[in-house]
Amino acid sequence: MKKHNFSAGPCILPKSVMLKASEAVLNYDEGLSLIEISHRSKPFVDIMERARSLALELLGLEGKGYKALFLQGGASTQFLMVALNLLEKRAGYLNTGTWSTKAIKEAKIYDDIYEVASSESGGFNYIPKGYEISEEYDYFHCTSNNTIYGTQMKSFPSTNIPMVCDMSSDIFSRTLDFTQFDLIYAGAQKNMGPAGTTLVVVKEDILGKVSRKIPSMMDYKIHINKSSMFNTPPVFPVYVSMLTLQWLKDLGGIKAIEKENEKKASLIYSEIDLNPLFKGYAVKEDRSNMNATFTLENENLKETFDAMWKEAGINGLNGHRSVGGYRASMYNALSLDSVKALVEVMSELERKA
Cα 139 to Cα 351: distance, rounded to the nearest angstrom: 52
Q: Does residue 200 sit in the same domain as residue 261?
A: no
Mean pLDDT along residues 48-69: 98
Give the integer Cα–Cα distance in Å for 149 and 138.
28
Tell me: do 235 and 301 sit in the same domain: no
- Pair (179, 313) in one structural domain: no
Residue 99 catalytic?
yes
CATH number of the domain to which 244 belongs: 3.40.640.10
Whether residue 220 sits in one domain with residue 121 = yes
For residues 164 and 182, give the distance between their C-alpha atoms in angstroms, rounded to a whole number.
Answer: 6
Domain contains 119: yes
Residues 204 and 58 in one domain: yes
Residue 6: inside a domain: no
Q: Which of 67, 138, 166, 182 is catalytic?
A: 166
Q: Is 166 a catalytic residue?
A: yes
| CATH number of the domain to which 309 belongs | 3.90.1150.10
Provide the domain count of the chain: 2
0.75 exceeded by the pTM? yes
Query: Model confidence at 110, in pLDDT bands (50, 70, 90)?
Result: confident
- 1 in a structural domain: no
- Cβ distance 127 to 151 under 8 Å? yes
Confidence at 11, pLDDT banded by 50, 70, 90: confident
pLDDT digits (tens, 9 = 90+) for 250-266: 999 999 999 999 999 99
Q: 217 with 320, same domain?
A: no
Task: Evaluate whether residue 92 is within a structural domain.
Answer: yes
Active-site residue, selected from the candidate residues 67, 138, 190, 309: 190
C-alpha span between 274 and 152 (Å, rounded): 22
Secondary structure class of 319 (helix, strand, coil)? coil
Percent of the chain with pLDDT over 90: 93
Q: What is the pLDDT of residues 270-313, one digit of tens each?
A: 999 999 999 999 999 999 999 999 999 999 999 999 999 999 99
Reported as a single tens digit per residue, the pLDDT across 215-235 is: 999 999 999 999 999 999 999
Residue 193 and residue 338 share a domain: no
Task: Find the catalytic residue in 99, 170, 219, 247.
Answer: 99
Instruction: Give residue 132's domain range.
Output: 16-251
- 337 labelled catalytic: no
- CB of 149 closer than 8 Å to CB of 225: no
Q: What is the mean pLDDT of residues 116-145?
A: 97
- 116 and 265 co-located in one domain: no
